[in-house]
Amino acid sequence: MNKRLQLNIYLKGRNRACLVFKRNPFLYRINNLMYALQFVANMEQLSLMIASGARQNCSFVLIDSRGKKWILYFEFEAELISLKLNTGFVWSGGPVEFRQAVANLTKMTG
């Protein structure tokens, strides 16, 4: 089973998007994510910090247009990255895999 992380974003205008977290065969989608470009920028910053060897533990609050909230937890310790969404979506992997997923996310924003 492929457990590669995929982060996909489909921009909708007015800084909103559909954000998809995928780890085969599991998929979780947030429709009408607000502040989509800020989320992508935060992921790019994390990717750069990881590339420099910095350890990082943080969380992000994701909000849709109806006010529903999700919390994305991020941990980077001992060359292992963990992403956990409070919906039950969990991914663990290496820094290279994470940076590739973020690079794909960035490309999708144009």
pLDDT at 24 (0 to 100): 86
DSSP string of 43-106?
HHHHHHHHHTT--EEEEEEEEBTT--EEEEEEEEETTEEEEEETTS-EEEE-HHHHHHHHHHHH
pLDDT at 3 (0 to 100): 80
Domain boundaries of the chain, sorted by first residue: 5-108
Type of residue at 32: N
In this prediction the pTM is: 0.92
27-83 pLDDT, tens digit per residue, is: 999 999 999 999 999 999 999 999 998 888 999 999 999 999 999 999 998 889 999
pLDDT at residue 2 greater than cutoff 70: no
pLDDT at residue 94 greater than cutoff 70: yes
Helix (H) or strand (E) segment spanning residue 90: strand 90-93
